[in-house]
Amino acid sequence: MLAKRRILFVFTGGVAVVRAMEVARTWRKEGAELQAIFTAAATRFVQPLAFEALAEGKAHTDLWRAEDPFPHIRLARWAEAIVVAPATADFLAKLALGIADDLAAATILAARVPIVLAPAMNAAMWENPATQDNLARLRARGCFVALPSKGLLACGEEGPGHLADEGALRIALLRALSGEPLAGKRVVITGGRTEEPMDAVRVITNRASGRMGAALAEAAAGMGAEVVFLQGAGAPSPAGARVIATPTAEAMRQAALQEASGADVFVAAAAVADHRPVVAHAGKPPKRGAHVLALVPTPDVLAAVAQMPKRPRFVLGFALESEAHLARAREKMKRKGCDAMIANPPENLGAEEAAGWWVEEDAVRELPRMPKRRFAWEVMQEVASRVR
């Protein structure tokens, strides 16, 4: 999603510019094309050359250059989105008033593309009504905001003022770039593996990493949805989602039924263990010799949601099949009562990349091997087009 996107960073004068530079480097590694503008204050913390070395893009500082009288117009037209990180209180005030007395402010005033603001400052400066009023005005004009987080600030005081982390910045940028096709929609996603207890320490589980579920949650949030992620064991916590830990099939089923009521979309990407031990012993019984473990099937979370009375409008499942992918996925789709299935081979489990097919009653689309984040974005775009 960020590959080949033209992102213009605006660095303003706060110590968080160091962290913002790391974010730029991460996005560059994903293939984003970057340029940056440093305000005069930003150059007191970091030299523009550091950006050129880390992010392989040009850094600009000056509005007044003999060789190019319109650098602000050129940069504003080059960018697909502008990310101001960190955005100081002073710079927000300038933008709110439409002041254009340096390259950064002039470029933003001249821009016709979405602007992402990531404020970072002392907590009192952040809470000051002047800053809040300025931010409210900028929001009302369509700016996207990655809110600062709380913590011990560089100045030694505590409170909100930390630059949003990379995940939160990414979600704000994706919302800005995507046009938010899932705005106003509630999306519930399961991800990761379940662990069915044999006793207090031993579990029955599988090899799923939860990367796909987390990537789907991130994609849905980046498309503007309100996202609930039902997090199986091992799954990362996706940015932009409300996360509920659901380590067993039964915990996942209960949370899914509750959260899916009133939701628009349900996506079951979790690798739910097929069986659980009949008895989960308390404590840790000592190991015995060979013995038979009695198992019962776990509840089917996807089928439970797809068959609930007021089910979400669109229900998507994943069918892990080692052969006859499409036919089996269609059969599973009908049996469970969902609207579409991703048929995927077991090689996807725990891997960095995924390949598969989007399968519906009367349509199939092949999704060639690609990084899971990209795969998840393609899948959520299909979903978004079904619930518009």
Q: Does 320 interact with ligand CTP (rule: CB under 6 A)?
A: yes
Quote the least distance from Cβ 227 to ligand CTP, whole Å: 17
* Residues within window 283-312 making contact with ligand CTP, judged by CB under 6 A: 298, 300-302
The helix or strand, by DSSP H or E, that contains position 380, with its residue range, turns out to be helix 372-386
Answer whether 232's CB lies under 8 Å from 271's CB. yes
CA 155 to chain centre: 30
* Residues within window 171-230 making contact with ligand CTP, judged by CB under 6 A: 190
CA–CA dist 169, 2 (Å, integer)? 12
Choose between 35 and 298: whose C-beta lies nearer to ligand CTP: 298
Per-residue x/- track, 330-349, ligand CTP (CB under 6 A):
--x-----------------
Among 192, 238, 317, 356, binds ligand CTP (CB under 6 A): 317
Answer whether 359's CB lies under 8 Å from 326's CB. yes
Choose between 217 and 249: whose C-beta lies nearer to ligand CTP: 249
* Residues within window 64-83 making contact with ligand CTP, judged by CB under 6 A: none
Q: Which of 40, 97, 136, 155 is catalytic?
A: 155
Answer whether 40's CB lies under 8 Å from 68's CB. no
Q: Does 90 interact with ligand CTP (rule: CB under 6 A)?
A: no
143 catalytic residue (yes or no)? no
CA–CA dist 31, 21 (Å, integer)? 15
Give whole-number Cα distances, 73 to 105, 107, 112, in Å. 11, 6, 10
Which of these, 173, 186, 207, lies nearest to 349 by C-alpha position? 207
CA–CA dist 316, 341 (Å, integer)? 6
Q: Does 315 interact with ligand CTP (rule: CB under 6 A)?
A: no
Quote the least distance from Cβ 248 to ligand CTP, whole Å: 11
Q: Does 32 interact with ligand CTP (rule: CB under 6 A)?
A: no
Q: Does 318 interact with ligand CTP (rule: CB under 6 A)?
A: yes
What are the helix (H) ranges across 30-122? Answer: 48-55, 71-78, 89-97, 103-110
Choose between 227 and 268: whose C-beta lies nearer to ligand CTP: 268
Active centre residues (catalytic): 155
Binding site for ligand CTP (CB under 6 A): 190, 249, 268, 270, 272, 274, 298, 300-302, 317-320, 332
